[in-house]
Structure 1
Amino acid sequence: MKKVKWCFYFLLVIQLFFLKLVAFAQDQSVTNEIRTLLEGDSTYLNIVFNDSPLHSPSELFSFYSDRAFEPSWSVNQILTCNALELRLLIQQAEFEGLVPEDYHLEGLNPFFEKFFNGTSLTPLELAKVDFLLSDAFILYANHIYSGKVHPEHINGSWEIIQKVNEPKVLEKLNLAVTQNEVRTQIFSLHPKFAIYKRMRQSMIKYLDLQKEQVDEKWETIKIKDAIELSQANPQINTIRKRLLFWADLDDYQVQEGNGDIYDSLLMEGVKNFQQRNGLQADGVLGKATIEALNKNPKELIKQVSVNMERLRWLPDTTVNEFILVNIANYGMDYIREMDTLLHSNAIVGKTYRKTPVFNAGMSYLVFSPTWTVPPTILKNDVIPAVKKNLNYLTAKNMRILDFSGQEINPSTINWKSVNGNNFKYMVRQDPGKDNALGQVKFMFPNKHNVYIHDTPSRTLFSKEDRALSSGCIRIQKPFELAKLLLADQPDWTDELIKKAMSSSKAQSVSLTRKIPVIILYLTFWTDSKGKEQVRKDIYSRDDELFLLLQKPVINTN
């Protein structure tokens, strides 16, 4: 009996040994194909991958050399779960606002279909799958980390310093295949901001909504005049359906015969929608609200895509205290320890004098500032106004100075011959209630000469469209911001701050630390409550970026 048992175990060991030999031989044949592909010249590699050119051949050579050319995505000539997982992530690249076809999806599909049909892949085919998956991982990981489009390729000014750390993609690729962590390693390269993950969930939601809506016509809502509470309009039913679609309105029973009446429950849904779209939540169905209601899921998917890309451009370093200005939101936020301590409405640059996107460090503020008129405003606004009325300067509390600081009498200047190109002086507005900078300005030196400041034109903050400045950011709550910035300097009491703001003499105050100021442009984000926030593309930048995102990746090898 013992002899029989010994014989059984001996045969089992022999069988396992031979199976391992067979498996080794099978994998070795794939290894040989990988080695042959890499050791051949680039022409051969290009011919083999003619239908789906490789993007990172040098990185692939490093990766496979370190593995002794062993396959990464198959074992015993069978595709691994890691391979299936990466293919699924490629198919889901649209969740990131990216294009699945950029990552060899079409090149991989025939091999996967053959595999799913139970047909064995040849060693060369497995080698090709290995190359395509590894190459896809490298490109996808880089796009997730720093974006597909480089900011310098867009027309709009984007000068925020990008990430400085390398993503170490080959290390992550190695961990993905050796530790079965494909999804973990890819997702580790996501932007570190919680907002990005929330936007990804919104993208999934919108893609599902688009599928729901694909067979249903998206009717364009048209109104002649604004619709107010209790008014009847034939478009009310469509508006109600639209708000139900976006979940800004809970379903409710409409009284028979009142389907065209703008009722109070519908108005609450309209207000919810207006808040999410950065509109005045007054419940009035005006032009701007109807325009926003006419956006379909496809248009919103585009908005999510471009703004996820913008987030990928941002540096991933976290700071405890910073000031954030979102141009498209007409808003400024002062954030400390991830809490928003102050939100202020803001006025930003006009469409032809756009506020630039950049970051800098705020180091001081100036109470009761003077204003030296910038060259563009001097040329386009001030000089033409003085030519029409020499008293314009006095009315605006402005003086003309030469560049040594000496005051010049305006009457001594031949205004008929003056223009913005030959004007040899500067114009300065003294402190006062009508000063263009208001009662305080917040300084973060930069090449654009753009800063945050107060304004005497307080009524402008009630407007929905606040792209009204010459590039600088005017804020509604300058006193509150000054108070927060000077909170660590006890001598600056509320009374002293107010007194300095209403002085006839400018006073500079240094901050005890340099506070990062980030001025960016986001037309979509998902807030901490999971609500999608949609804003008008006031500088018409989304279309250009979306087209670049949709373009196939150009192979530069």
Structure 2
Amino acid sequence: MIRFSVISLLGAVAVPAVAQPPAVAPTMPAPSAQPPAPQVILPPAMVTPPPVPLPQPSAAQEKWLNEWLKGGAVQGLMARARATGELKGEALLSAVLDRAKALSTGRVDTADFLEIWALRPARFDPRPGLAKAISEDRLPQWALSLTPPYAGYDGLRKGLANYERIRDAGGWPTLTAQSSPDAVRARIAIEDKSVTPGEKLVDVLQRAQRRYGLNPTGLLDARTLRELNVPVDDRIAAIMANMERWRWMPRELPVNRVQVNIAAAVLTVFEGDQPVTSMRAVTGSPDNATPMLSSSIHSIVVNPPWNVPSSIAKRELWPKGRATLIRQGYKIVGTPETGERIVQPAGPNSALGRLKFDFNNPFAVYLHDTPSRAKFSSYDRLASHGCIRLEKPVPLAELMVAGNPDLAGKIQSLIDAGKTQRVSLPKEVAVYLLYWTAFASNNGTMSFRSDPYGWDKLLAAKIEASSRRVDPTAAPATSIASKD
């Protein structure tokens, strides 16, 4: 039997309250009060400064600004048609600020960028500059300062004007395989002013093929015909898309840098802001696009092993079977995170060749050597998994370590030693991975590459969508090359 104590039972029923005796005074002093908690000093909240007030333009300044707004198409803004009436007051200033931002950083908000478009324009507030220009009556000088300060951008601007003249004159005729030599020569002369009436057709064709990034055979083959028959509006659209990407560039580039044109698969080294050498490269295939980005090459790995990315291993290597992989020289390494991974040891057959150029980026891409040299003789070199393979990696490495007397001239010796080692550069080298599908030569003739990733058309669509959000009632542009 379970017995309950009286106290337990009493605790289970209601009992009348009784007066409690006074508390006995403690014989020990009461504990002192707890010390106050340390005060946490928070940093001051970020306060967005109020916008810079804009002075009211004079009548003459309003007239100049309205004329300036009409010239947006000259800068390839891909803008839709604006109202033709003169703007005044706040409406004018708002339009000018919008134009200034478009010229400086482009029309697409970075929130709408693809993740792989990691080259982002710097934040830009046009109000302080505009206020100063109005106050000092220096609007033309201010307007000139808005566009990218590069010969590459200026060459595209001049090319745009030329191709719009060609369009306004009726464009160019469509060629066929049966077109006469005179017809082919005349068609190419529309774009290439150096063509002369008596020039050999093979020379004219070779020059055109080089401008399009084709094998310069001098023959009117199917690919050459396809490029010659691209509509002039599409060429204008390509120029405008590349002008837009120039606006994402920083306003000052390091004078010593490495630039990769992803679309053309070419690497160029600049010293003192002048190109000193270039080489062919192999860039990402359309299914494995190389990202646009900027970073700094900090080190070179000599005789690098290849830690095969899990996506490549799953798609291309694991299906071969473990025995085949081991027979081909791969190692299978256990890892606590993924269980197993595949490593290709350093050596002459390593996919990374003998040199790997490392720079920080979220896509795990880098420049590297390769034992597969055949692609460098091809004119179709978008074939990698996203990294950039180099035609001449040893000369590039020698350029980068030239400032270190302990390393200068010794890259090949380090390779021959066979040891895997990381060589820190005496000074980091800026690297830019860029996507240029249209660019001008020194004589102003335009060169084009195909849009292998479809980024030109996607950029135009994003610009149109961005413009529509700003003004949902406006009619869409009839083409990417519409004027404002």
TM-score category of the 2 structures, normalised to the smaller one: 0.7 to 0.9
- Indicate if the aligned counterparts of 1:195 and 1:528 stay in contact, CA closer than 8 A: no
CA positional deviation for 1:100 = 5.4
CA positional deviation for 1:191 = 1.3
Question: Which of 388, 394, 400 is equivalent to 2:327?
Answer: 394
Q: Does 1:238 align with 2:183?
A: yes
How many Å separate the matches in 1 of 2:79 and 2:314? Answer: 50
Aligned residue in 2 for 1:499: 413
Aligned residue in 2 for 1:452: 367
Aligned residue in 1 for 2:122: 163
Question: Which of 430, 442, 446 is equivalent to 1:516?
Answer: 430
Change over 3 Å in CA distance of 1:152–1:347 after alignment to 2: farther
Matches within 5 A, 1:466-505: 466-494=381-409, 496-505=410-419
How many Å separate the matches in 1 of 2:115 and 2:76? Answer: 20
Question: Which of 184, 187, 203 is equivalent to 2:144?
Answer: 187
Question: Which of 339, 343, 362 is equivalent to 1:424?
Answer: 339
Aligned residue in 2 for 1:250: 195
Aligned residue in 1 for 2:459: 545
Matches within 5 A, 1:61-140: 62-63=53-54, 67=55, 71-74=56-59, 80=60, 82-99=61-78, 101=80, 105-106=82-83, 109-110=84-85, 112=86, 129-140=88-99
Aligned residue in 2 for 1:283: 218
What 5-or-longer segments of structure 2 have no aligned partner? 1-49, 473-484
* % identical aligned pairs: 25
Structure number, greater radius of gyration: 2
CA positional deviation for 1:423 = 6.3
Q: 1:58-91, CA deviations, whole angstroms, 9 ceiling, x for partnerless residues?
A: 969x32xxx4xxx5242xxxxx2x3333233222
How many Å separate the matches in 2 of 1:519 and 1:99? Answer: 24
How many Å separate the matches in 2 of 1:431 and 1:437? Answer: 8
Query: What is the root-mean-square deviation in Å for CA atoms of aligned residues?
Result: 2.5
Change over 3 Å in CA distance of 1:350–1:219 after alignment to 2: same
Matches within 5 A, 1:171-182: 171-182=128-139
Amino acid at match of 2:281: A
Question: Which of 269, 272, 275 is equivalent to 2:204?
Answer: 269
CA positional deviation for 1:493 = 4.5
Greater per-residue helix proportion: 1
Aligned residue in 2 for 1:465: 380
How many Å separate the matches in 1 of 2:298 and 2:220? Answer: 44
- Indicate if the aligned counterparts of 1:98 and 1:549 stay in contact, CA closer than 8 A: no
Change over 3 Å in CA distance of 1:360–1:294 after alignment to 2: same
Question: Which of 324, 339, 354 is equivalent to 2:259?
Answer: 324
- Indicate if the aligned counterparts of 1:243 and 1:249 stay in contact, CA closer than 8 A: no
Count residues in correspondence: 422
- Indicate if the aligned counterparts of 2:301 and 2:421 stay in contact, CA closer than 8 A: yes
Amino acid at match of 1:94: A
Question: Which of 142, 145, 150 is equivalent to 2:104?
Answer: 145
What 5-or-longer segments of structure 1 have no aligned partner? 1-57, 75-79, 113-127, 224-232, 254-263, 405-421
How many Å separate the matches in 1 of 2:344 and 2:176? Answer: 47
Q: 1:258-305, CA deviations, whole angstroms, 9 ceiling, x for partnerless residues?
A: xxxxxx711111122122222222323223222211123211110111
Amino acid at match of 2:354: Q
How many Å separate the matches in 2 of 1:329 and 1:433? Answer: 27
| SS, match of residue 328 in structure 1 | coil
CA positional deviation for 1:521 = 1.1
Which deviates more from structure 2 when the two are superposed, residues 273-282 or residues 457-466? 273-282
- Indicate if the aligned counterparts of 2:325 and 2:331 stay in contact, CA closer than 8 A: no
Q: Does 1:434 align with 2:349?
A: yes
